[in-house]
Chain A
């Protein structure tokens, strides 16, 4: 027995009863030879891109435990039913595949725990590209850079120059 999750999209031009019928049909296929654990309906939802010229579709998710024959049978049915726009079956991982690193270093406690994952926003795009370019240029002339760094460090030691002051010196 394996844990599967099957998602499928039903065409939006069906009436509610017809949609109901399709879903119960498919649910029966699962129940005959397996255990339907969870049935999730999202209702009509806008598609990210048109499928068969439909802009929205009815989303249904089945979570079930069954032998591999069941998803095959389900998919066979999906292909026959015209109202199904798209389907996807995945095997859910049940094994606890532990990561080696986590075992070695359980130091996650010290990390800050904010509730939301902060959004990256604009800084995902431009900044990173700039960084990449800079890294390249640094690699090209490492020796020259080192020399200059040494000089600049001496200057720094003399007085803690801020950025604009340093610029003036270079111009002199």
Chain B
């Protein structure tokens, strides 16, 4: 039973390999992420208001660091929620 499941999954991965994600800020050559730019920041928070992890959004470590400080600053000014339900 377990064996069958696994083979199915591994063959699935062979036919549909995971998409390689690229950091969008690097693509656009953006260095600084402004905390006032709420429209962009909103794309990087999950529905509960959490900062989206790197493995989800594909951001590089440099921009993830910038992004997280920007989001935290925006939260202080009530531009973004600390938590959302």
- Using CB atoms and an 8 Å cutoff, list the residues of chain A in contact with chain B: 7, 9, 47-49, 51, 57, 59, 61, 86, 88, 90, 93, 99, 108, 111-113, 117-120, 124-125, 128, 131-132, 134, 137-138, 141, 144-145, 148-149, 152, 163, 166-167, 170
Contact = CB atoms under 8 A, between A and B. Distances in A.
A166 B82 CA distance: 49
Contacts of A124: 46, 52, 56-57
Interface of B: 4, 6-15, 18, 22, 24, 26-29, 31-32, 35-36, 40, 43, 46-47, 52-53, 55-57, 62, 73, 75-82
A39 to B, nearest CB: 14
Nearest to B62: A99
A9 B40 CA distance: 21
Contacts of B18: 131
Interface of A is mostly: mixed
A163 B11 contact: yes
Contact of A49 (B46, B53, B78): B78
